[in-house]
Chain A
Amino acid sequence: MKTVTFTIDGKIVRADKGQTILKAAEAAGIYIPRLCACKDLVPHGSCRVCSVRVNGRIQASCVQTAAEGAIVESETDELREYRRNIIDMLFVEGNHFCMFCEKSGFCELQALAYRFGITAPKYRLLYPKRDIDLSHPEVYLDHNRCILCGRCVRASQDLDRKNVFQFVERGCRKRLQVNGEALSDTDLRAADQAVSACPVGALMRKRVGYAVPVGRRPYDEVPIGRDIEKKGEE
Chain B
Amino acid sequence: MAAKPRIATVSLAGCFGCHMSLLDLDERILKLAELVEFDRSPINDYKDFRARCAVGVVEGGCCTEENVHVLERFRKQCDLLVSIGECAISGGIPAMRNNIPLRECLEEAYLKSPGVYNPGGVIPNDPEIPLLLHRLYPCHEVVKIDLFIPGCPPPADAIWDALVSLLAGRPAAPAYDRLKYD
A interface, CB within 8 angstroms of B: 91, 95-101, 104-105, 110, 113-115, 117, 119-121, 124-125, 127-130, 214, 220-221, 223
Choose one: B92, B99, B138, B173; the contact of A121 (CB below 8 Å). Answer: B138
Given the interface pairs A97-B93, A120-B148, A127-B99, the reply to whether A105 lies near B176 with Cβ below 8 Å is: no
Q: Taking the nearest CB of chain B, how far is it from the CB of A84, in angstroms?
A: 13
Rounded to whole angstroms, the CA-CA distance of A47 and B93 in the bound complex is: 28
Given the interface pairs A117-B174, A119-B150, A220-B177, the reply to whether A125 lies near B182 with Cβ below 8 Å is: no
Task: Verify B176–A223 contact, CB threshold 8 A.
Answer: yes
**Residues of chain B lying within 8 A (CB to CB) of residue A223:** 176
A-B contact list, 22 entries, CB within 8 Å: A95-B99, A97-B93, A98-B182, A99-B152, A99-B182, A100-B93, A100-B182, A110-B181, A114-B180, A117-B174, A117-B179, A119-B89, A119-B179, A120-B140, A120-B145, A121-B89, A124-B141, A125-B95, A125-B138, A127-B99, A214-B182, A221-B177
Chain A residue at smallest Cβ distance from B85: A99
Rounded to whole angstroms, the CA-CA distance of A233 and B111 in the bound complex is: 63
Rounded to whole angstroms, the CA-CA distance of A110 and B148 in the bound complex is: 17
Q: Taking the nearest CB of chain B, how far is it from the CB of A205, in angstroms?
A: 19
B interface, CB within 8 angstroms of A: 83, 86, 89-93, 95-96, 98-100, 135, 138, 140-141, 145, 148-150, 152, 173-174, 176-177, 179-182
Task: Verify A97–B96 contact, CB threshold 8 A.
Answer: yes
Given the interface pairs A104-B181, A127-B99, the reply to whether A99 lies near B93 with Cβ below 8 Å is: yes
Given the interface pairs A117-B173, A120-B145, A121-B89, the reply to whether A128 lies near B181 with Cβ below 8 Å is: no
**Residues of chain B lying within 8 A (CB to CB) of residue A128:** 99
Task: Verify B92–A99 contact, CB threshold 8 A.
Answer: yes
**Residues of chain B lying within 8 A (CB to CB) of residue A91:** 90
Rounded to whole angstroms, the CA-CA distance of A55 and B50 in the bound complex is: 61
Rounded to whole angstroms, the CA-CA distance of A124 and B181 in the bound complex is: 18
Task: Verify B176–A121 contact, CB threshold 8 A.
Answer: no
**Residues of chain A lying within 8 A (CB to CB) of residue B152:** 98-99
Choose one: A97, A101, A113, A119; the contact of B92 (CB below 8 Å). Answer: A97
Choose one: B86, B145, B179; the contact of A99 (CB below 8 Å). Answer: B86
Rounded to whole angstroms, the CA-CA distance of A221 and B180 in the bound complex is: 10
Given the interface pairs A121-B90, A127-B95, A223-B176, the reply to whether A101 lies near B135 with Cβ below 8 Å is: no
**Residues of chain B lying within 8 A (CB to CB) of residue A130:** 99
Task: Verify B181–A120 contact, CB threshold 8 A.
Answer: no
Q: Taking the nearest CB of chain B, how far is it from the CB of A137, in angstroms?
A: 25
Q: Taking the nearest CB of chain B, how far is it from the CB of A19, in angstroms?
A: 31
